[in-house]
Amino acid sequence: MQTKDINENIAWAKINEDVLRSMENPRMGYWVALAACVAMIMCAVLAEIYQYQVGMGPSGLNWPHMWDLYIATFVFWIGMSHSGTLLSAILHIIQADWRKPIYRFAEAMTLFSLMTAGLFPIIHLGRVWNMYWVLPYVSDRGIWPNFRSPLVWDAFAITTYMTSSALFLFIGMIPDLAICRDNARGWRQKLYTVLSLGWQGDDRQWRHFRRIYLMMACFLIPLAVSVHSIVSADFAMSIMPGWHVTTFPPYFVAGALYSGCAAIITLFILLRYFFRFDEYMTIPIMEKTCKLTFAIAMVWTYLNLIEFAATWYGHDPVAKELLIQKFIGPHAPFFWTMLFCGSVLPFTLAFEKLRRHMPTMFVVSLFLNLGMWLERWMIVTPTLSFSHQPFAWDIMWPSMVQWAIVFGSFGWFGMLFLIFVKVFPSVSMYEVKEMVFHRRHYHSDELESKFHRRAGDRQSDADPSREGA
Amino acid sequence: MSLKNILENWSHYRRAHEEGGHHEYEHMWGMAIDLNKCTGCNACSVACYAENNLPTVGKDRMRKGQGLHWLRMERYWDEPDLGGDDKEYQERGGSFLPMMCQHCNAATCEPVCPVAATYHTPDGLNAQVYNRCIGSRYCSNNCPYRLRYFNFYSYYEESWPEPLNMQLNPDLSVRDKGVMEKCTFCIQRIRTGKDAAQREGREVKDGDVVTACAQTCPTEAIVFGDLLDKDAQVTKLWKAQEVELGRAKQDKSDGELRGYRVLEGLNTDPCVMYMDRVREA
């Protein structure tokens, strides 16, 4: 069944109206959600204050578990940030137009998950107050960070990626901010006037805009891939079994895109429901996102399998022991849940009936991300539990302090996202207009009866999906 | 000001970075530990606590794995049948492996530290700079021997309440929370030994420096010395066991030789040699 991504007969004014409406008059539910997010953040803040005062002890970390949930959740949030780049940059240069209504919030997600991820390496430091020593600032003593350390590469990669994706989000939003400026009053008008950088929408501006947007897209793609490769280097560059794995960079990138896509599905459904964006975030677009997620899930599964196979047939006794421990040891319940959520559950995305059923997809996408979070945990912790020195074998359960901070990170992300959707347009107005643009010149009843289809309509005759392209 | 300094001395800074580490060592402190002699009495560990201002963390934290024991006595039941059912002689089947920082020459902990708080000294030691450490704990994660310990709490007041703080060794600091630490081969004693030799206008000779654990060991299982000193006892022991620095695979003329280094296959090139325990058949 082939249907149009969106109804091409939506009037431009209606697009403006719908999107601008979504930014106004927050309802009671919005404030409740925001308050809940702030409450979650407070849990984390209290835990962090306690940890800051007392030391890393209350987090339940121990010898040999020097890292645990903090680093796992850090990798999880970094991974989440890859979806925005995938949708807006990769799909932009391959001209997959269905990305247009949904890339804006995905990009915001990128930025906010990076802002969340960036907190964890700081929180997990034993001496937080000295964190700036990781940066190569000019010092009279001639002391530099250790450029051989993957943690320093992390610091560079994440700050670069965060800056670039913030810029990319902002640049892509300029024409929309101009629309907001023209329709706003009060503080909003002042804000949008500054942010829209005097956008008039003339030809010269559009030409420059297109050029810089494409350039940023081309710059961001290798950057995104390198960022998660570098994060994987935290593990791959080490000597520990289960970390010292050659396939880690592609494995991490695949996992990142995977969890990012799953999160896009979650937010897609939430926005569609709460902002009544049914006409923009349509079922066909949902289906395409699901198909993409399924493909990435299969790549991830494949990389998982070759990692197991390489360890098994590699006959490195320590790595093999660790693999066996993962399958049947104390971490086995989490490990199998991860494999179920990551490799079995995505098959629901392969069925059209399920793909088109929003509540199912909502639950599935949450479980996919649970699986991806567990994946990160199962990368970090079992290696520390069962490494080379059998005397140092140990099992630990993270304490409430760690759980509170992990829990709070979701509140932090949620709060940023909630603020975003009410201050900035979460659907790209000008690009959705591009999707309906072609139809506006063909206004004959005959053509309309032939081509006008609502999203989800059954196809009656020849394939109209490429019409007007 | 500082930028000017950097720009003017750029070639110096650049060279220092390119040629990181040391290529010509003044000393190469090392150990030889005879497991035949080790009775597992833990005196070395106690001596280490006393010498290096190690905090006692209490039962609960120790059980949680938050203790700091630079020298730990690992007990393995390598021949569990030897003890048999006889409760009194159960330990006959056990063997002991005193583990302290192996001061690897290709230390895995060194390249991963983001702030270069751990590095190799011209003495061949793997040094830890407490003041520079920011507590990322990456070094401990990347130590295959798991010989690096972290200060999960601030122990100063709890571990040495008045007047116990008077017993602290004044030659080295008490570490605060958030810092990684590990065996230093009693670097303060090395310093003292070198200073004394310099005052007397001579080279450091074997026996000038003895670590706390080697000094305390009742069976003299631990021998400490400079591996670059041809006459040192430790050098002779290494030679007799045909164990050599810089060689991952020790090809020995005699399979009966007992010398080995822990996890040699990882090519970390440790400076501690163990001599395997031989049991009566």
Query: What is the domain partition of chain A in residue ranges?
Result: 12-451
Q: Which residue type does A295 have?
A: A
Describe the crossing of helices A429-437 and A150-183 by its angle, rounded to 10 degrees: 70
Contacts of A293 (CB under 8 A, 6+ apart): A258, A261, A262, A265, A346, A349, A368
pLDDT for B100-125, tens place per residue? Answer: 999 998 889 998 999 989 988 888 89
- Listing DSSP states for B90-135 in one string gives GGGG-EEEEE-----TT-SHHHH-TT--EEE-TTS-EEE-TTT---
pLDDT for A249-261, tens place per residue? Answer: 999 999 999 999 9
What is the pLDDT, as a whole number, of residue A462? 47
Number of domains in chain B: 1
How close B269 comes to chain A (CA, Å)? 14
Give the tokens for residue A46: 């209290």
Q: What is the pTM of this model?
A: 0.90
Top residue of B11, B12, B76, B141 to mutate, by most chain A CBs within 10 Å, is B141
Q: Answer for the pair A425, A55: CB distance below 8 angstroms, yes or no.
A: no
Contact at CB, B141 and A67, closer than 8 angstroms: yes
Query: Burial, A334: exposed, middle or buried (Cβ in 10 Å; 0-12, 13-18, 19+)?
Result: middle
Give the chain A residue whose CA is nearest to the CA of B76: A391
Average the pLDDT over each of A409-418, B57-66, B200-209, B239-248 and give the range with the smallest value. B239-248
Q: Any idea which residue has 């932009």 for tokens?
A: A92
Contact at CB, B141 and A66, closer than 8 angstroms: yes
Q: For residue B32, is pLDDT > 60?
A: yes
CA–CA gap between residue A416 and residue A34 (Å, rounded): 9
Contact at CB, B178 and A387, closer than 8 angstroms: no
Contact at CB, B142 and A238, closer than 8 angstroms: yes
Give the tokens for residue A206: 């559009």
Compute the average pLDDT of residues B260-268.
88
pLDDT for B61-75, tens place per residue? Answer: 999 889 899 999 998
Contact at CB, A142 and B13, closer than 8 angstroms: yes
Give the tokens for residue B279: 């049991």
CA–CA gap between residue B231 and residue B223 (Å, rounded): 13
User: Does some domain include residue B280?
Assistant: no
Top residue of A48, A52, A56 to mutate, by most chain B CBs within 10 Å, is A56
pLDDT for A288-343, tens place per residue? Answer: 889 999 999 999 999 999 999 999 998 889 999 999 999 999 999 999 999 999 99
Q: Does A231 touch chain B (CB under 8 A)?
A: no
CA–CA gap between residue B73 and residue B40 (Å, rounded): 7
N- to C-terminal Cα separation, chain B: 72
- Listing DSSP states for A312-331 in one string gives HHHT-HHHHHHHHHHHHSTT
Bridge partners for B181 per DSSP: B149
Q: Does A283 touch chain B (CB under 8 A)?
A: no
Bridge partners for B149 per DSSP: B181
Alpha helices (H) along B142-232: 156-159, 187-199, 212-216
What is the pLDDT, as a whole number, of residue A464? 47
Top residue of A143, A391, A402 to mutate, by most chain B CBs within 10 Å, is A391
What is the pLDDT, as a whole number, of residue A89? 86
| SS3 call for B259 | strand
Chain B residues touching residue A142 (CB < 8 angstroms)? 5-6, 9, 13, 16
What ipTM does this complex have?
Answer: 0.88
Q: Does A392 touch chain B (CB under 8 A)?
A: yes
Q: Answer for the pair B98, B72: CB distance below 8 angstroms, yes or no.
A: yes
Chain-centroid distance of CA B145 in Å reads: 11
In which band, very low, low, confident or very high, does the pLDDT at B15 lie, cut at 50, 70 and 90? low
pLDDT, chain A, mean? 87
What is the pLDDT, as a whole number, of residue A410? 95
CA–CA gap between residue A439 and residue A442 (Å, rounded): 5
Q: Answer for the pair A68, A248: CB distance below 8 angstroms, yes or no.
A: no
Describe the crossing of helices A317-328 and A358-385 by its angle, rounded to 10 degrees: 140
| SS3 call for B212 | helix
Give the chain A residue whose CA is nearest to the CA of B3: A138
Give the tokens for residue B151: 């200060």
Q: Does A13 touch chain B (CB under 8 A)?
A: no
CA–CA gap between residue B221 and residue B33 (Å, rounded): 5
**For residue A14, what is the DSSP state?**
H
Q: Answer for the pair A81, A260: CB distance below 8 angstroms, yes or no.
A: yes
Looking at per-residue pLDDT, the higher value among A310 and A440 belongs to: A310
Q: Does A57 touch chain B (CB under 8 A)?
A: yes
Q: Which of A65, A140, A394 sits opposite B2 (nearest CB)?
A: A140
Interface of A with B in 132-171 (CB under 8 A): 133-134, 138-140, 142-152, 155
How close A140 comes to chain B (CA, Å)? 5
pLDDT for A5-15, tens place per residue? Answer: 777 777 777 88
Please name which of B267, B137, B266 lies closest in space to residue A149, comparing C-alpha atoms.
B137
How close B152 comes to chain A (CA, Å)? 4
- Listing DSSP states for A292-314 in one string gives HHHHHHHHHHHHHHHHHHHHHHH
Q: Which of B17, B141, B177 sits opposite A240 (nearest CB)?
A: B141
CA–CA gap between residue B226 and residue A169 (Å, rounded): 60
Q: Which CATH superfamily is domain A12-451 in?
A: Formate dehydrogenase/DMSO reductase domain (1.20.1630.10)
Looking at per-residue pLDDT, the higher value among B203 and B256 belongs to: B203
N- to C-terminal Cα separation, chain A: 19
Q: Any idea which residue has 């409406």 for tokens?
A: A21
Compute the average pLDDT of residues B249-260.
79
User: Does some domain include residue B15?
Assistant: no
Query: Burial, B198: exposed, middle or buried (Cβ in 10 Å; 0-12, 13-18, 19+)?
Result: exposed
Contacts of A359 (CB under 8 A, 6+ apart): none
User: Does some domain include residue B16?
Assistant: no
pLDDT for A192-243, tens place per residue? Answer: 999 989 898 889 999 999 999 999 989 998 998 999 999 999 999 999 999 9
Give the tokens for residue A141: 């003593």
What is the pLDDT, as a whole number, of residue A11? 76
User: Does some domain include residue B87?
Assistant: yes
Give the tokens for residue A49: 């204050």
What is the pLDDT, as a whole number, of residue A163? 93
| SS3 call for B261 | coil
Residue B185's φ and ψ, nearest 5 degrees, are 60, 35
User: Does some domain include residue B3?
Assistant: no
Chain A residues touching residue B17 (CB < 8 angstroms)? 144, 147
Q: Answer for the pair B44, B71: CB distance below 8 angstroms, yes or no.
A: yes
Give the chain B residue whose CA is nearest to the CA of A385: B141
**For residue A86, what is the DSSP state?**
I
User: Does some domain include residue B167?
Assistant: yes
Compute the average pLDDT of residues A129-156.
88
What is the pLDDT, as a whole number, of residue B218? 95
Our CA dihedral for B13, B19, B23, B28, rounded to 10 degrees, sits at 70
pLDDT for A3-62, tens place per residue? Answer: 577 777 777 778 888 888 888 888 898 999 999 999 999 999 999 999 999 989 999 899
Please name which of A104, A78, A109 lies closest in space to residue A91, comparing C-alpha atoms.
A104
How close A396 comes to chain B (CA, Å)? 8
Chain A residues touching residue B113 (CB < 8 angstroms)? 146, 149
In which band, very low, low, confident or very high, does the pLDDT at A441 lie, cut at 50, 70 and 90? very low
Residue A287's φ and ψ, nearest 5 degrees, are -60, -40
CATH number where B117 lies: 3.30.70.20
Compute how many other C-beta atoms are within 10 angstroms of the C-beta atom of residue B221.
22
Give the tokens for residue A391: 């005397």
pLDDT for A346-400, tens place per residue? Answer: 999 988 888 888 899 999 999 999 999 999 999 999 999 999 998 999 998 999 9
Q: Answer for the pair B65, B160: CB distance below 8 angstroms, yes or no.
A: no
Contact at CB, A149 and B61, closer than 8 angstroms: no
Looking at per-residue pLDDT, the higher value among A433 and B211 belongs to: B211
What is the pLDDT, as a whole number, of residue B17? 56
Cis peptide before B170 (omega within 30 of 0): no
User: Does some domain include residue B34?
Assistant: yes
What is the dihedral sign for C-alpha A15, A20, A21, A23? positive
Q: Which of A126, A128, A390 sits opposite B179 (nearest CB)?
A: A126
How close A233 comes to chain B (CA, Å)? 11
Chain-centroid distance of CA A166 in Å reads: 14
In which band, very low, low, confident or very high, does the pLDDT at B202 lie, cut at 50, 70 and 90? very high
Contact at CB, A55 and B153, closer than 8 angstroms: yes
CA distances to B161, B175, B176, B183, B215 from B167, rounded to whole Å, are 11, 15, 18, 20, 19
For residue B234, the enclosing domain spans: 26-275
Q: For residue A1, is pLDDT > 50?
A: no
Contact at CB, B114 and A155, closer than 8 angstroms: yes
Contact at CB, B142 and A387, closer than 8 angstroms: no
Give the chain B residue whose CA is nearest to the CA of A156: B114
Compute how many other C-beta atoms are within 10 angstroms of the C-beta atom of residue A300.
26
Please name which of B143, B145, B167, B178 lies closest in space to residue B66, comparing C-alpha atoms.
B178
Q: For residue B60, is pLDDT > 70?
A: yes
What is the dihedral sign for C-alpha B207, B212, B217, B222? negative
Task: For residue B33, give the H/E element and its range.
Answer: strand B29-34
Q: For residue A456, is pLDDT > 70?
A: no
Our CA dihedral for B243, B247, B248, B250, rounded to 10 degrees, sits at -40
Contact at CB, A133 and B115, closer than 8 angstroms: yes
Q: Does A212 touch chain B (CB under 8 A)?
A: no
Contact at CB, B144 and A152, closer than 8 angstroms: no
Contact at CB, A55 and B152, closer than 8 angstroms: yes
Q: Which of B66, B99, B132 sits opposite A63 (nearest CB)?
A: B66
Query: Burial, B253: exposed, middle or buried (Cβ in 10 Å; 0-12, 13-18, 19+)?
Result: exposed
Chain A residues touching residue B149 (CB < 8 angstroms)? 63
Residue B28's φ and ψ, nearest 5 degrees, are -140, 85
User: Does some domain include residue B137?
Assistant: yes
Q: Any idea which residue has 């790595």 for tokens?
A: A319
